[in-house]
Structure 1
Amino acid sequence: MEGQLGVNHRVDGDFEPADPIPPPENRQRKTADISDREWEIRTGRAIFILRQTLPNFFDLGLVSSPSHDSLSPSNSKKASSSLTPVGEPESIYSPKIRLVYTPPVKLPSPFPTTLQVEGMPLYMASSVFIRHTLNTLYSDLHVELLRISLQNTPTPNHESGSSVVEERKERGELKRDKCLFVGLCVRGTSRVSGAIGEWQVNSTYTFSPTTGAINKHIVNSIYPAPHLSVYDALRSSFGRVFGLAAPVPGEVTRLERVRVGEGSKGNPDGV
């Protein structure tokens, strides 16, 4: 039994956990590695990059760091104060970023109530899918920023009491409470009919209180809502690329790093 994972091993007469858990003080020290000033710099850099690059999304794609050619040298230097150990600017997105969207009308089976994609590779793939699909169907695509504003992260209902809020203030948790609302309009000309297509998209970006990276992207609304054929194409595309195609009858599959429909069990935003 001592050779099994997670079982304590005896070392010199004492028991030592096979998978030691860092003591609380070490975990607190790890989360405090980034100063409040550095956290503000990182979130400010992310906001700057979104503001500068979203209007050119269909030309540039998703820009995740200030080293992109679309940013001028002076702006890149200003925005890239945080570097990785090898000297490369850090991504403004968390490796575990989560994209969440709840369609206004429940989709037919097998689609879930809430669509969720987790992880930077799948988040990037989602942006590539959107860019490629719309560029195929429309020409002269451009994005107009209608509104961009900072907001406080909504407090969960079970933490809405004044005493709980005061305790969070004393612990310094509310110092790093920030999310960004972005309202934009996408326009393009249909390659088939020549008609103008237009969509208004509202999103909320939430920043990690630990790293300052964007760890959640909630698509609040898309108007007009995407047609069902878009979801079929999305499912088909992700199935080919990430192995999410419909399983063979009788086969049991396990989906890792892609969680869909979990938000329907509670908060519709999947929070």
Structure 2
Amino acid sequence: MKVGVVGLGLIGGSIGLALRDPSREILGFDPSEANAKLALDRFCVDRLAPLEEVAKAEIVFVAAPPLHVIAVLDQIAKLRGEQTVVTDCTSVKAEVAAWAVRTGAPWFVGGHPMAGHEKSGPGFASSWMFRNARWILTPVKATDKAAVKQVEELVRAMGAVPVRAKPDAHDRQVAILSHLPHAFASVLVTLGEELERTDVAAGSWRDLTRVGGVDPDLWSQILLGNRTELTKVLEDAERELAALREALQTDDRKAVRAILERSRIAKKKQEA
């Protein structure tokens, strides 16, 4: 089987490493010569090839930056082989789903691996990146069921767990589960600037700020791409923080405890 990977950064490189197997040939393409060379040197792909060739693989993973995904999909749509199945890895699905509906492409399966790293680029790619991670697939009405199953098979081969969701539900979920945590991490790291030192922090600071140093170019694209849902979630978060602030300002011990208790119960349910 030939598998194509378009975009050889952290995610694309990790896909290549996770799918390495004698039964598969991994072809890679990236417009960045530096990314392409590093991905090849690290065995993320078996060989580099022009987009015209990569697009004709049996399954193609598009791991391009959010701003370029639609343009790449348009190119692949013209170049793909008759049996080629294409899936993307974009963390916001609204625009991609709209493209899928508009083009009516049965061979396209929207996707998003819920995995990553605070560092970017193929130098940080790993074969274990997706192990036990949820890989959300967002097929639309026009999507061929057989294409979805093909993508699910390779997702499982990478050690991930495929999960299906509607595109709008996906964007609401990641706004809370991924994008808001990244926004909070950015705020916390910035607040830490006023401190004389942060090396005295305990685990909670490290856990909450781990993603505070992510690639600003990539993450500004992601946050702006999901601005509708993220704005709603930020408004909800502001209300929660305002309630806590008011309880603290009024020395309302009962209210503070109620807020923490509600959180404890919610966390327990989520871990069940």
| Fold equivalence (TM over 0.5) | no
- Give the TM-score, by structure 2 length: 0.25
Q: Which has the higher strand share?
A: 1
Larger Rg: 1
